[in-house]
A and B are shown apart, each in its own frame.
Chain A
C-alpha cells in the first residue's frame, strides 16, 4: 500500500458520463492484482473532503487505469481532470479476486453491471494469461451504459450484453441474461461486480445453482485502509456473522460468506 501524491494522468477517454483515466504510478502498477482498488483525492481543498474508491480497471508496466461513472461531486471533479494533471492516490488497496484456487479446466464467467464492469477487464486479462478464458455478461440501463463492449471483444474476451430498455443486446436484466445462458454454458466459477440489487440476486442464483462465486462489494469509505471502520458489510467469518471492513478484508468475498440483509 503506497501513497503517491503526484501520479500523472497520462491518458483520458470518455463516453457520455463514463470516463477512463490512465494514471502513471509504476510502484502501484507493479503491485496491483485484479479486484484491488485505489483511493483518489478529488479536490485539493476540503470539499469533497474524503478520497473516493475506484477499482483498478487495467494495468500496464507503469500505469493503472480507472473507469468510472459520474455519481456526484467527487466523480465530476475527477472527470474534469486533464491529461498532464497530477492526482493524489493510495493503492493498491484491499484483497483482489482469489485466482490461485481455480483448478485446471474450470470454466469462468463474470457479470458486471454498469460501472461494476470496471475490475472485470483487468481480471479478464489476468485470467487469459493463466489459461482461463473468461466469458463476460455486461448489463446496463441503456446502450450508453455499455461503452466497454468493444474493448473486451478486441481483447478476445467474449461479451454478452443486456439493457433494461432493450436498446442493445438482450432486453432485460443482466441476471436474466446470465440465467438464459446457464443451461448451455454453466460456469464453474463466477465473478460479480455491480449494484447491490444485482449482486444480491446473483448471490441467490449462485447459492441455488451451487456455482462458486466471488463478489466485489461497495460501501462508502472513509479511509480505504482499515482505520475508520466506516465501510462495513455483514460477512461470515469462521461461522460468525460480523460487521467486516470491506476495504481491508475485501472488497472481494465469496458468496457463501456474504449476508445481504444488513440486519
Chain B
C-alpha cells in the first residue's frame, strides 16, 4: 500500500478528520465510550441534547425493541447547560476531534438562551439545533414540522451564534426538502437528517402501549432505506452540506449515504450494540477506498449513478 487514502472532509465551516460522527443521544457526552475507544479516532461526536435547565424526562418503559429497530421515548432527560459546561466540557477540552452540542428548547427563547450560554465557553466546534425531537411536545409536534417556524428559529439562533449551526431535521413531515430549504435560507451551515420516526408498539396480552409515553422515535437498521431516500432528496436541492444518518451499522452503509449526497454521517443506535463500532467503521472505510482505488473520500459524495 503506497498511498493512504484521504478520509478528511471539509464542510466549509468545519474540517473533519473523517466523515464519521456519533449521533446525539446515543453517545452520552462521549466519556461513556472511553473504556472502548479512542475518541480522537472519530470525525467528531454530538453530545446529548441540552436544554437550559436539567430535565427529568419520561417515565419508563422508555425503550422497546422492534424488528431491527429501537423505539425510544427518553424525553430528553439531561443535565442542563450549566452542569455540562462546568463538569463535562472541561474533560473534553484536549480531544483532537470535533465536539458538537445538540441544543434543545421548548421555545425559540430557550434555544437562544442555551446558545448564548455556550457561546461563552471554549471547546465546541458547532451547534446542532435539535428542532426535531418528536418526544417532547404533545403528539410529537416540533418546530421542524413547519417551514416557517424552522426559518424563524434557525435565523434567530444563527444571528446570535458564535459558532456554525447545523439544523437537525425530523423525518415526520410530508416533504422534508421544504423544511431543509427553509433552514438553508435562514442561514443554517448544514442540515442533519434524519432524527427518529414517530412510532409505537403494543403489548397484545395487556393491550397496553409498550412505552409509557405511548409514542417514541424509531431508530436503527429498520429506518435506513427511508433515511437514505430522504438524504438523497434533500442533497439534490440544497447547496449546504447534508449530514446523513439513520440505521448506519457498517462502512457499506456509510458509503451508501455518501453516494446519496451526504458529506458526512452520524451513527446512533449502533453505538449501544457495539460500543467500538465507530473506529471500526473508519478502518473499514479506509479499506474500501484502498480496495477501490479511491484517493479521497469526498470523491464518493453524491456519486450515485443513474439507474
In the assembled complex, the CB of B186 is this many whole angstroms from the nearest CB of chain A, namely 30
Closest to B58 in A: A243
Which of A3, A226, A243 touches B77 (beta carbons < 8 Å)? A243
A227 in contact with B27 (CB, 8 Å): yes
Pick out which of these stretches binds chain A: B1-9, B67-75, B177-185: B67-75
In the assembled complex, the CB of A233 is this many whole angstroms from the nearest CB of chain B, namely 7
In the assembled complex, the CB of B15 is this many whole angstroms from the nearest CB of chain A, namely 27
Pick out which of these stretches binds chain A: B32-40, B105-113, B143-151: B32-40
Chain B residues numbered 20-38 whose CB sits less than 8 Å from any CB in chain A: 25-28, 32-33, 35-36
Task: Tell whether A229 pairs with B57 under 8 Å between CB atoms, given A46-B220, A220-B63.
Answer: yes
A232 in contact with B62 (CB, 8 Å): yes
Most chain-A Cβ atoms within 10 A of its Cβ — which of B33, B220, B272, B276? B272
Give the distance in Å from the alpha carbon of A147 to the alpha carbon of B105 in the complex.
53
Chain A 208-227 interface mask (CB, 8 Å, partner B; 1/0)? 00000000000111110111
Task: Tell whether A227 pairs with B272 under 8 Å between CB atoms, given A219-B60, A262-B59.
Answer: yes
Task: Tell whether A222 pairs with B35 under 8 Å between CB atoms, given A48-B65, A228-B63, A243-B77.
Answer: no
Chain A residues numbered 48-72 whose CB sits less than 8 Å from any CB in chain B: 48-51
Which of A1, A220, A242 touches B56 (beta carbons < 8 Å)? A242
Which of A48, A50, A229, A263 touches B74 (beta carbons < 8 Å)? A229
Task: Tell whether A230 pairs with B74 under 8 Å between CB atoms, given A46-B221, A47-B68, A49-B221.
Answer: yes
B28 in contact with A226 (CB, 8 Å): yes
Q: B61 contacts which chain A residues (CB < 8 A)?
A: 219-220
Give the distance in Å from the alpha carbon of A256 to the alpha carbon of B214 in the complex.
30
Chain B residues numbered 150-206 whose CB sits less than 8 Å from any CB in chain A: none
Closest to A48 in B: B65
B296 within 8 A of A: no
B81 within 8 A of A: no
In the assembled complex, the CB of A236 is this many whole angstroms from the nearest CB of chain B, namely 14
Which of A3, A221, A228, A242 touches B72 (beta carbons < 8 Å)? A228
Q: A49-B65, A50-B272, A219-B61 are in contact. List 10 more A-B contacts (CB 8 A).
A: A49-B221, A49-B269, A226-B28, A227-B27, A227-B33, A227-B272, A228-B72, A229-B62, A230-B60, A262-B60
A interface residues (Cβ-Cβ under 8 A, vs B) = 1-3, 41, 46-51, 90, 219-223, 225-233, 242-243, 262-263
